[in-house]
Amino acid sequence: MSAAEGPLVVGVDTSTQSTKALVVDAATGQVVAAGQAPHTVTTGAGRESDPRQWWDALCAALRQCGEAAREAAAVSIGGQQHGLVTLDEHGEPVRPALLWNDVRSARQARRLVAELGGPKAWAERTGSVPGASFTAAKWAWLAEHEPDAVRATRAVRLPHDYLTERLTGQGTTDRSDVSGTGWWASGTEAYDEETLAHIGLDPALLPRVARSGEVVGTVRDNHELPFSKGTLVAPGAGDNAAAALGLGLRPGTPVLSLGTSGTVYAVSERRPADPTGTVAGFADARGDWLPLACTLNCTLAVDRVAALLGLDREAVEPGGHVTLLPYLDGERTPNLPHASGVLHGLRHDTTAGQLLQAAYDGAVHALLGALDLVLDEDADRATPLLLIGGGARGTAWQQTVRRLSGRPVRIPEAGELVALGAAAQAAGVLTGEDPAAVARRWNTAAGTVLEAVERDGATLERISGVLSDAAPLLERETGAQ
């Protein structure tokens, strides 16, 4: 390992299934140490995790980084969005956190939209039409189903807030993550009193929203962590906003992220407000906006189909006319929280490889359908689509996105972009730089470009037709099936 040229910083990605930590040279962007530790997530009707696991995983990941973490001058945490963390008077979890992909709150989300003015009013006020993923719907679900837990709650946090607070002792969040709650008004950039009153959430329980570039505190003297006392702590960010920082993203460049969830987003200088609910009007971590569409079923769903077929995930075959909608966990885009997977067009000559390719096609179809809604009208459609996330390394994912989008596709060489974006934010609080400019200086978006091919409109049209025809079945609640 070569000697670092500048101060060291730490970027953290606390995701659904693990926490990753990178120690990065702020001058060059070189990763000098890395660590990772897993979390567990419940299965069944809900998706929950004990927040204390995130802290234990952070400690384990940082210990793996060794002495480099102790030399770091600043740290920032990027984290999974929407999760509801409820804490008691001692700062301990009242119950496990309700995660973003817990869709039990779908009914409460529909009710909130109807009771507070309808989709258009929500989009204008908060930038988004909340679905089951949004934290406001999860709080409403908790109030209805576990009122004792609500009564015991003395602080409400998002996942990255929880870890930042354990570092500093101060309750803070940032505009990117709070914009996914449903109780933050994007027009005024403040907590929305009407929404909070309606769901019975005292604003005193919520963290302060930190400014971009602000130092929110310093690391407390805590022997669990290898940080030096006084290490600066940056505001942190939601995972997609952190990845946007990690890419040094400029307005008009589209990103398609393939992970547990799939997302498509772009930075915009215009505040989004989509009344259809397809695009969430999130804030970014700098002062602009990050219109985004998200699917619940991406790499894990396709891997599950591959496992059921006894195939390697790359064992796809062309041909056939089978359609597979891989909505194994319900779906968010399109908004079908109670859906399950649908298979149509199966024939005697359909091969297992064609079925697997159909799962890829179905997963990508939903994301590409939202791409034009995410981009500003004047965005250059010839700009390469940045393909990131774990799936971006897979040939089958790359070729499916390329074929169905008809766009050139760039695959950045840099990995762990959420943690890199958090590291860029940490570097920014040290130097006073725009963290996106830090990432551009690090050249994180450099990578292979796959040239555009003719768009496979026939497959997209076939999937859209099956989705339309199957809508009554997909919209049924589980109990009615």
Q: Please indicate whether residue 239 is annotated as part of the active site.
A: yes
Catalytic residue among 13, 25, 161, 239: 239
**Could you give the angle at which helices 51-65 and 159-168 cross, rounded to 10 degrees?**
60
C-alpha 31/C-alpha 19 separation (Å) is 16
Contact 97, 83 (CB under 8 A): yes
- Contacts (Cβ under 8 Å, ≥6 apart) of 430: 7, 9, 26, 73, 74, 232
Catalytically active residues, by annotation: 239
